[in-house]
Amino acid sequence: MTIQKPIFLTSAIPYVNAEPHLGHALELVQSDAIARYQRLRGRELHFTSGTDDNSLKNVRAASTLGITPAELVARNGAGFLRLAQALNVVHDDFIHTASDARHAPAVQALWQRCVNSGDVYKNTYRGLYCVGCEHFLRESETRDGKCTVHPQPLEVVAEENWFFRLSRYEQPILQAISEGRLQILPLERKHEALQFIAGGLTDFSISRSRSRAHAWGIAVPGDDTQIVYVWFDALANYLSVLGYPNGELFQHYWLNANERWHILGKDILRFHALYWPGILLSAGLPLPTSLRVHGHITSQGKKIGKSSGNALDPWRLVARYGVDAVRYYLLAHLHTSKDSDFREDLLRTAYGSELAGKLGNLLQRVCALVERNGVTIVTRNLDAPLCELAWHTERRVARAFDEFALHDALRAIFELITAANRHADSSAPWQLAKQENFTALEHCLSSLVYTLRVTARLLAPFLPATAREIAARLDPQPKLGAPLFPALPRA
C-alpha cells in the first residue's frame, strides 16, 4: 500500500490596514473546504493562515488613525482571526507576523540563506511604487499614471536597497511551471505566469530604507538602515508558521510533505509564482507543488476592496443569513477562479429556493414520512438510477476539487438533490402510505435516505454544520426536527 505523505495548505495572509471584508471571507472558506475535503479522504493535512503586519500601508493607516502600527495590526489582526472563526474556518495555526516570536528569526534565516547563495546585493533603484500592491511597477503596468488595481497615484521612489538576483532563477522557475512540478490552477493563471517569465525576470528590491518604512518591520541582518521588504517578509510566513529553520513541523510539513499548496488571489500571483520560487531555490528549499488562484468578488463589475470604498461586510451577512448560507453562496454562486459579482438579492434567493426549498424541504418531508409511518430504512434493493447518480456525483465532486472548481462540486451536489426531489415527486410516497403499499414506501424512502446521507457526506467540506445536522437527523432512523433553514424575515 502506498503511504501518502502529508499536505501543507495555506491561504494568503492579508494586509491589516482595515477590517476584513467579504473578499477575505471568500479565500478563507475556499481554503477551509479544501482542508476539510482532504481530511475526509483520510489525508494528513496542516492548514494555516495569518496576517501580513509589516507593510507600509499598515504604517500609513495607523498614522491616519493617530495610533501606532503595533496597535493597528493587533486590533485589525484580531478581526481577521474572528472572521475565520465566525465562518467556521478551522486552522491548525494562525500567525501574526509582527507579534509571533517565530517570524522574525525565520525571515532572517531565510535572508541569510539567500546571502550565502550569492543572490543578495546592494543597488540604487528609481521607480514608480504602488503602496497598495507594495510593489514597483513598470510603465506597462500602469494606466494614466496609476496602478490598474489601486486608484491612488503612484509614488516616485529613489533609494539604495538590497536586491535579490531573481534573474538567476528564470529557467528553473520556467521549467518547474512548464513541467507541472509547480502546478498553477486554473490554466489561464499558469499562462499568465509563463507570460511574466517570457518578458524576462529581473532582479527586485528586497529591502526598504528604515526612514521610508518608518522603522516598522524586520531589520535586514547586518544592516540596521534597511527594513526587509514586505513581500520577502510575508512569503516567509509559510515557513515561519512551521518553525523554520529547525522546527519539527517544518521538517514534516515542508521538507517531507508530498504536497505544499497555496491558495491565493489572482492579484498576488506574481509574488507566489515568481518571487517565492526564486527565494526558495536560492535557499535550497523545496518549491510549493500547487498554486490555486481564485478570482475577485466584484460589486457592479468593480473589485471590492478597502481602497475602492465598496467593501462588503461579512459579519452582517452571517448575522442575517447564517454561516452555512454565506459559505454556500460564496462557494456555489461565485466562480472559484474567475471574478464574480456579489448580489445580496441572489444570496437571499439561493437561501430560499436551494437551501430551504430543495435541501431543507427534502429532508423535512422524508423524515416526516418515515416517522409518521414507522418505516424501517433498509440499505438493499434501492432505486438504481438514484444510487448510480450518487456514485457519479461523488466522482464529480472529487474531480472538481482536483481542478479547483468548487462551484462545480456544489452544482453536482445540488443536481443530486434535485434528482432526489424529482424521485420523491414521481414516486409520491405520501400516496403509497395512504394506499398502505408499505413495500414500495420502504423502497422509496430508503432510496431517498441513502441519497440524503450521501449528500450530507459530500456537503461536509462546504456546509459543515448543515451536513452534521442532516447526518444526525438520519441516523440511526430519520427523525423530524426544526427546518434546516428557517424562513427569513422580510428584507
294 has catalytic annotation: no
Q: Are 293 and 270 in contact (CB under 8 A)?
A: no
130 has catalytic annotation: yes
Q: How far apart are CA 444 and CA 376, in angstroms?
A: 11
Q: Lowest-confidence range among 81-95, 164-178, 415-429, 477-491?
A: 477-491
- Choice among 46, 135, 147, 296 that is catalytic: 147
Structural element, H or E, at residue 72: helix 69-86
Q: Lowest-confidence range among 132-141, 200-209, 343-352, 366-375?
A: 132-141
Could you report the per-residue pLDDT of 98-151, keeping only the tens digit for each?
A: 999 999 999 999 999 999 999 999 998 776 776 666 666 666 666 666 676 666
Structural element, H or E, at residue 30: helix 22-40
266 has catalytic annotation: no
5 has catalytic annotation: no
Burial classification of residue 261, based on how many CB atoms lie within 10 Å of its CB (0-12 exposed, 13-18 middle, 19 or more buried): buried
The SS3 assignment for 426 reads helix
How many other CB atoms are there within 10 angstroms of residue 132's CB atom?
20
Contacts of residue 180, Cβ cutoff 8 Å, sequence gap at least 6: none
24 has catalytic annotation: yes
Determine the pLDDT at residue 86: 97
The CATH number assigned to the domain with range 7-294 reads 3.40.50.620
| Mean of pLDDT values over 376-383 | 94
122 has catalytic annotation: no
Determine the pLDDT at residue 311: 79
Q: What is the assigned CATH class of domain 343-474?
A: mainly alpha
Is 339's pLDDT higher than 90? yes
Is 250's pLDDT higher than 90? yes
Q: How far apart are CA 253 and CA 96, in angstroms?
A: 20
Contacts of residue 415, Cβ cutoff 8 Å, sequence gap at least 6: 389, 393
The full set of domain ranges for the chain reads 7-294, 343-474
Q: Lowest-confidence range among 64-73, 301-310, 368-377?
A: 301-310
- Choice among 57, 190, 262, 306 that is catalytic: 306
Distances in Å between the Cα of 41 and the Cα atoms of 10, 231, 253, 284, 469 are: 18, 34, 18, 32, 20
**Backbone phi, psi, residue 341, to 5°:** -80, 135
Contacts of residue 373, Cβ cutoff 8 Å, sequence gap at least 6: 433, 438, 441
| Mean of pLDDT values over 396-421 | 98
Determine the pLDDT at residue 302: 85
Beta strand pairing status for 120-130 and 135-137?
Answer: antiparallel
pTM: 0.93
- Choice among 57, 91, 96, 150 that is catalytic: 150
Determine the pLDDT at residue 478: 95
Determine the pLDDT at residue 1: 46
Per-residue 3-state assignment (H helix, E strand, C coil) for 348-411? HHHHHHHHHHHHHHHHHHHHHHHHHHCCCCCCCCCCHHHHHHHHHHHHHHHHHHHCCCHHHHHH
- Choice among 130, 367, 407, 443 that is catalytic: 130
Determine the pLDDT at residue 422: 98
- Choice among 135, 262, 296, 303 that is catalytic: 303
Is 400's pLDDT higher than 60? yes
Contacts of residue 80, Cβ cutoff 8 Å, sequence gap at least 6: 14, 16, 20, 24, 51
- Choice among 114, 133, 367, 444 that is catalytic: 133
Work out the end-to-end distance of the chain between its first and last CA atoms, rounded to an integer number of angstroms. Answer: 55
| Mean of pLDDT values over 16-38 | 96
21 has catalytic annotation: yes
